[in-house]
Structure 1
Amino acid sequence: MQEPGERSSTMETNYWRYLKTEELLALQTGLNEDESGVGNDEMLFIVVHQIYELWFKLILRELTLARNALNTALPHDHRVAPVVRSIRRAIVVFEQANQHFRLIETMTTRDFLDFRDALVPASGFQSAQMREIEILLGLEDHERISLGKRCFRDALKEADGTPSSADRRVQARIAQGPSFKHCLYEWLSRLPIAGASEAASVDGFIGDYLRAIRDENRKRLRTFVERGASPDGVESLRARLRADESDTEAYLRAEDDPEADAATRAQRRAIRAALLYVESYRERAELGWPRELVEAVLDFEQAFVIWRQRHARMVERIIGRRVGTGGSSGVDYLDATALRYRVFSELWAIRSLLLRKAAVPALDPVLEDR
């Protein structure tokens, strides 16, 4: 009797059976019964978008693995290494996916218009796996661009409002647990600052860093004066630096959101301090993997943004600024997503606060010895 998962000894293993090649090659029929009625340009369109869905499947698997590992890994745990590896692989997938836009651009506007009406009211917005990637990363519903009175999940339902396979896929993703962003920020909030994770150590580190920022601003102002700036110019710079210092302190002390409760503010302080610590003291041996992780996440979001931007330019090149097949604003919508759909805002914001190496405050010797 064959055990579960055991290969049948009577079934020969070969390339086409392993990859299910015949089944795969039979999927490019579009709305037709077979592919005989599909022209070459439409075939190109179908194949490229099917490949995109396979790429998205890979990205989802890697991000899920990374999320699960990060949800249990300690800040310096060896399990951070495969998290970085998975994110790096997902980055390469997006880079490969970008090349496919060039392939679609071998099609002219007239070529596409020959079969475009067959797509109505379908839309790339209905890619359930793309929505899954956004959900898994941590894009919140309130951060999404409005589609009028409809929730984005409404576009994934059947025409009569009943659940579709796409809708069920997204609902299952939502039910799977916390987002990657949630797990990453939880992980950062536990990162010891020079060996100490107590709130007092976090607040002390922030205080030291704020003093270093003020020192740097005073030096910058002196240099401005010494190089012959006008009195009005000096006063203007002084006012801007003071405003920046006030905003920076509010941000690092998590006082920038008056509606946040005490626990949320404490966690945000810890996250922001951890990011400053990782970026400012990256030479420290224990920060090797944490910094690799932070850089990998930044690289991933950048790759995602570039993919969105490249998608918008491809669409504009092929159809201009027409209304999308699904009724969206087309290119305007795609451009807006590239601009606004940023998940890891803390990682980007901290870049504005970093100091040159010589200006970074020395760590507390007491903390260094822990």
Structure 2
Amino acid sequence: MARKATTYWDYIKTEEILALQNGLGESDTELANDEVLFITVHQIDELWFKLVIRELVSVRDLFAKEPVPEQALAAVVRGLRRTELLFKQLSAHFELMETMTTRDYLAFREKLSPASGFQSAQLREIEVLLGLEESRRVALGYEGSYKRALRSPEGDATAASDRLERRLADTPSLKEAIDDWLWRTPIQGSTPGDEGDAETVRAFLEAYLEAHSSELERASTYAQHDALSEADVERLKVRYEKERASARRFLLAEDVDEPEERAQRSRIRAALVFIESYRELPLLAWPREVVDALVSLEQGMLIFRQRHARMVERVIGRRTGTGGSAGVDYLDRTALTYRVFDDIWAVRTVQLREAALPPLARAAFYGLVADN
């Protein structure tokens, strides 16, 4: 039996989609253009969020494998880059929202109360999936908890709260999976479980820190030469010494109290330094692309949050949000504090120029073939 011919409108569900912009009314013909714009943009945002979640789950699932298939890293980078582009699309929507004036928005804003964009379960899912720590969350206002905000006014479970609970139970997070993958990175040809691995990693870090110290000394000398006074010279010395101590504290994970966890975190940070430093090695080329794609993704999400805050401030100022939150102040705080991949960002502070890097051991292990 021949298959029925497919039409665009059947495949895309055009009529069904176009019937969903009525808000609380029977039809969108009852609404002003500004309200239909508001509804449509937020619906599109939720569809973009859906795609973000799909990509992040796929990437997370690949990194949850042990070992991670090397041939899968290209697909990982593609997924992360696609997610970055999705956040760029989300940020671009705010320019469209800014065509709405304050008075235009106030004409229907009361309908929203106490609803709020904070009730986007999918955005909360993305945060959980990425690995945002609970301790970093900013209180929403009178709701008290991002989980409570997704329940009904009476405190009952909803489709939104159920969605979030399923995501909270879906482990590991992307950050956890990435950390485990980084921890297994061969450093100077040594992997966890190899005899003397801890000593090899520590020796690499000490050599790296020595090179880093020499680079700081060099930079400090140049800076002091241009100092205007003895007081400036002393301030520069203190500043560079602080940077030296900070690098050591970071790479040796002295900020972590528990010894076993400290050793694991130090190896993860050593792996990041190693990948960034010797990125031309064939075995490290794709891992370095993964690391860079993670930074781009998080940067895109941070820009999305910052752009959101500026759009809200432009349209409604700094008034209390419809959900009782601090409004723009809340959005600004999330843009500053909602970071996941801290180590990947921090490693840029301690990177060295190629000429200053410690010698590489066992280059052939990483697939490097020397020129004849």
> Which TM-score applies when normalising by structure 2?
0.92
Within 5 Å, give how 1:51-66 maps onto structure 2: 51-66=44-59
Give secondary structure in 2 for the equivalent of 1:79: helix
Give the secondary structure class of the aligned counterpart of 2:147: helix
User: 1:65-96: per-residue Cα shift (whole Å, max 9, x none)?
Assistant: 00001111646711111111111111111111
Distance in 2, Cα, partners of 1:58 & 1:293: 19
> Which amino acid letter does the alignment assign opposite residue 98 of structure 2?
E
> 2-side partners of 1:227 and 1:116: how far apart?
57
Question: Do the aligned residues in 1 keep the contact of 2:227 with 2:233 (CA within 8 Å)?
Answer: no
2:194 aligns to what?
A: none
Output the CA distance in 2 between the equivalents of 1:225 and 1:18: 68
Query: 1:343-362 alignment to 2 at 5 Å?
Result: 343-362=340-359
Structure 1 residue 121, shift from structure 2 partner: 0.3
The separation in 1 between residues aligned to 2:332 and 2:265, in whole angstroms, is 30
**Contact preservation (8 Å) 2:34, 2:104:** yes
Q: Structure 1 residues 125 and 230 mapped into 2: Cα distance closer, same or farther (>3 Å)?
A: same
Most deviating of 144-153 and 55-64: 144-153
Give the corresponding residue for 2:294.
297
Correspondent of 2:34 among 33, 36, 41: 41
Partner residue in 1 for 2:100:
107
The answer (yes or no) to whether the contact 1:76–1:290 under 8 Å persists in 2 is no
Deviation at 1:257, TM superposition (A): 2.6
Distance 1:127 1:311, change over 3 A: same
Q: Which residue identity lines up with residue 270 of structure 1 in the other structure? A: R
Contact 2:113 / 2:322 at 8 angstroms: preserved in 1?
yes
Taking the TM superposition and a 5 Å limit, the aligned residue runs for 1:7-18 are 11-18=4-11
Residues 39 and 98 (structure 1 numbering): CA distance in 2 closer, same or farther, change over 3 Å? same
Distance between the aligned counterparts of 2:66 and 2:88, measured in 1? 28
Give unmatched runs, 5+ long, in structure 1.
1-7
Distance 1:16 1:212, change over 3 A: same
Does the 8 Å CA contact 1:88/1:300 hold for their aligned counterparts? yes
Q: Distance in 2 between matches of 1:50 and 1:283?
A: 43
- Tell me by how many angstroms 1:35 deviates: 2.1
**d(CA) in 2 for partners of 1:229, 1:279:** 36
Instruction: Return the alpha-carbon distance in structure 1 between the equivalents of residues 2 and 261 of structure 2.
Output: 58
CA RMSD after TM alignment: 1.8
The C-alpha deviation readout for 1:144-187, integer Å capped at 9, x for no partner, is 01235722100000011000110000011111211001101111
- Residues 75 and 190, structure 1, Cα contact 8 Å, conserved in 2: no
Q: Does the Cα contact within 8 Å between 1:315 and 1:331 map onto a contact in 2? A: yes
Choose which of 266, 271, 296 in structure 2 pairs with 1:274: 271
Q: Identify which range, 61-70 or 8-17, moves more after superposition.
A: 8-17
Distance 1:52 1:223 in 2: 50
Amino acid in the other structure paired with 2:94: F
Matched residue type, 2:167: R
Q: Which amino acid aligns with 2:180?
A: E
Query: Aligned to 1:195, what secondary structure does the other structure show?
Result: coil
Partner of 2:145: 151
3-state secondary structure, aligned to 1:162: coil
Is the CA contact (8 Å cut-off) linking 2:56 and 2:79 kept in structure 1?
Answer: yes
Deviation string, structure 1 residues 265-300 (Cα, Å, up to 9, x no partner): 111111100111111112222211011000000000
User: d(CA) in 2 for partners of 1:228 and 1:175?
Assistant: 56
Find the partner of 1:141 among 112, 134, 138.
Answer: 134
SS in 2 for 1:24: helix
Q: Measure the CA separation in 1 of the matches of 2:287 and 2:304.
A: 26
TM-score (structure 1 length as normaliser): 0.92
Match of 2:334 among 329, 334, 337: 337
Alignment partner, residue 369 of structure 2: none
Shift, 1:256, TM fit: 1.4
* CA distance in 2 between partners of 1:201 and 1:313 (Å): 48
What is the aligned-residue identity percentage?
A: 49
C-alpha distance after superposition, 1:209-250 (max 9, x if no partner) = 011011122223443455576444333322332232222212
Unaligned runs of 5+ in 2: 192-196, 366-372
